[in-house]
Amino acid sequence: MGYRIVSDSSCNLPESMIDEFGIHIFPLTFMVDDVQYQSYLKGHKTNLKQFYTMMREGKVITTSLPNLIEAKEALEEILRAGDDVLYIGFSSGLSGTYEAISLMMQTLADEYPDRTLKAVDTLAASAGEGLLVWHAAQMKDNGATLDEVHGWLMDNRLHLAHWFTVDDLMFLFRGGRVSRTSAWAGTMLNIKPVMHVDDEGHLIPLEKVRGRKKSLNALVDHMAQTANAPVADQTVFITHGDCLEDAEYLAAQVRERFGVTDIMINYVDPVIGAHSGPGTMALFFLASER
């Protein structure tokens, strides 16, 4: 008897990594001009560059939870096969996904009393969630039990640091994250917010800097303040909203300042990107505190 790691598409892991570790992904849903899409489907590569092009063209984008009927069917298939389930989910501070899936798992636990189902609210977003999933998958491959992985996640989820910045405040305004006045004033003054995800799993602005390059450097500065040592031994994740050149600049700064060699770069998925917009940049690592 084994167990399967299950997560959702907001973890922002590349399809190749998801396939390598055999992780089951619940695709969150987004709508573009009333046409429904899902941001990860098994066997289908999502064209994220096209998604951000649609955002730049002013398409109306809304987001919603995974298809819960399909999620229940997927979980039951795993349970019927004789495997237990460890669900590692998107922050409850940003989405109702974790609550919906964990409630479903409680019901399934009664229907499958011989199986173990455990859920972890990562209180994390984007590749912050994904980095926790990656560590869990590494532990599983090295023989860790479901209980051991679950315990590690609960002990370390508040040591997963997220540092974000965006290039266009108007997308945060449309997503309800900043006021219209702040968005317009910031745009006029070339102000870039530096944000993080706090211990409750909310995206919180912490400071403002003037200029894109300074905002990228600020992410690395925060890493210098809290990253767990030895920093060079860490695996670091970077996600971006269709701004690969900036992501590569950020990765180069991390390599130069800390000697990190293992860096994964990927797109911010549509469900998160719909609120943060093109030009979003995020840096994730293990730290003494968020």
**Residue 246 in this model has a pLDDT that exceeds 60:** yes
Digit-coded pLDDT (tens) for 93-139: 999 999 999 999 999 999 999 999 999 999 999 999 999 999 999 99
* Confidence bin at 174 (pLDDT 50/70/90): low
Contacts of 168 (CB under 8 A, 6+ apart): 187, 277, 278, 279
In a shared domain, residues 147 and 177:
no
Let me know whether 171 and 103 are in one domain. Answer: no
Whether the Cβ atoms of residue 173 and residue 132 lie closer than 8 Å to each other: no
CA pair distance 88, 123, nearest whole angstrom:
10
- Together in a domain, 79 and 219: no
165 and 150 both lie in a single domain: no
> Within this chain, do residues 135 and 223 fall inside the same structural domain, yes or no?
no
Residues 119, 25, single domain; the answer is yes
How much is the pTM? 0.92
Residue 7 sits in a domain whose CATH number is 3.40.50.10170
With vertex at residue 266, the alpha carbon angle to CA 53 and CA 281, rounded to the nearest 5 degrees, is 70
Do 26 and 131 sit in the same domain of this protein? yes
**How far is residue 3's CA from residue 282's CA, in Å, rounded to a whole number?**
31
58 and 104, same domain (yes or no) = yes
Same domain for 79 and 167?
Answer: no
Query: Is there a contact between 56 and 278 (Cβ–Cβ < 8 Å)?
Result: yes
* Same domain, yes or no: 145 and 198: no
Number of domains in the chain: 2
pLDDT at residue 84 tops 90:
yes
Which domain does 65 fall in, by range?
3-157
Q: Count H helices, E strands: the chain? A: 11, 13
